[in-house]
Chain A
């Protein structure tokens, strides 16, 4: 297995470490596991583009020694759609946050899925707007405290993976940072699927979210993600827990393939 030193040498841009992310932030684990998945698949990094929106999670694209597009808040899937449609030979990974993807960018998410454009979207769901200091997001759990729900939050949160499944994403998986081995496997699958892959990672924001919500030590936070989730295979036995695992894997025609067929048909 590739070591962290080797990953660093091979995939991390010089002079960018340590990251700007807080101690205990889970985003780095997602970067680590994504790079491992890419390495295990022996992908040509020069044919990949890392696209992201705005937020702490969206900073991940800047650390990778590869083409990267750090776009506007909420819009990475739209930009990624343009890249992929214009050059289907490129493999696109989108890093996005819960606010980026499901708040301001929710429309692009569902339409990216509807079109079934071949990109791999990795959503770092940390239950809040981390970068702006911990406001409520579309995934903030009920009764959480955030800087904009000081008396606790009552709006019903989105279950992002369920949303992606309902919209028809061919590949949907959800893991947490406490499941790094499984996460690598799912990212690998997502990268191999020809079509829209949606990978949700529950990742801690100790600074903005957990500090206000009972758990203040990193170990407790890490453990929370293990203890409050249940694998989809055993979900029925523990219905109150968050269901994780490979949640959807279906076949569907992909946009760039369909466009290619159309071009062949009309240019005859």
Chain B
């Protein structure tokens, strides 16, 4: 499961560009600060955790089932 803490995310998109399988995408989901939160296509994710390492704000979490 990939979760993004909407109140921490600054919408930089580094997770999107860092993801090797293109499992993350831009969305039109906007948080309370007007920031665009990425969305996930879980089935594409291979749990490599690169998105977690690339997040400057500790917002994205990859949980292994």
Touching chains A and B, CB distance < 8 Å: yes
Interface residues of A (CB under 8 A from B): 1, 3-5, 7-8, 12, 17-19, 21-29, 31-33, 36, 177-178, 180-181, 184, 218-219, 222-223
- Residues of chain B within 8 A of A33, CB atoms compared: 53
Residues of A with C-beta under 8 A to B30: none
B54 touches A180 (CB 8 A): yes
Determine the interface band of chain B, counting residues with CB < 8 A from chain A. 20 to 34
Given contact pairs A1-B49, A1-B52, A28-B55, a sample of 14 additional A-B residue pairs in the complex whose CB atoms are under 8 Å apart: A4-B52, A19-B56, A21-B56, A24-B12, A29-B53, A32-B53, A177-B14, A177-B54, A180-B50, A180-B53, A180-B54, A181-B50, A222-B17, A222-B18
Residues of B within 8 A of A (CB): 7-8, 10-14, 16-18, 35, 49-50, 52-63
A27 CA to B49 CA in the complex, in Å?
A: 19
* B13 proximity list for chain A (CB < 8 A): 218-219, 222
Closest approach, in angstroms, between the C-beta of B51 and any C-beta of chain A?
Answer: 9
CB distance B57 to A3 under 8 Å?
Answer: no
How many angstroms between the C-alpha atoms of A7 and B60 in the bound complex? Answer: 12
**6 pairs across A/B with beta carbons < 8 Å?**
A17-B57, A18-B57, A19-B57, A180-B18, A218-B14, A219-B13
A32 and B61 alpha carbons, distance in the complex (Å): 13
Question: CB distance B16 to A219 under 8 Å?
Answer: yes
Which A residues are CB-close (under 8 A) to B55? Answer: 4, 28-29, 32
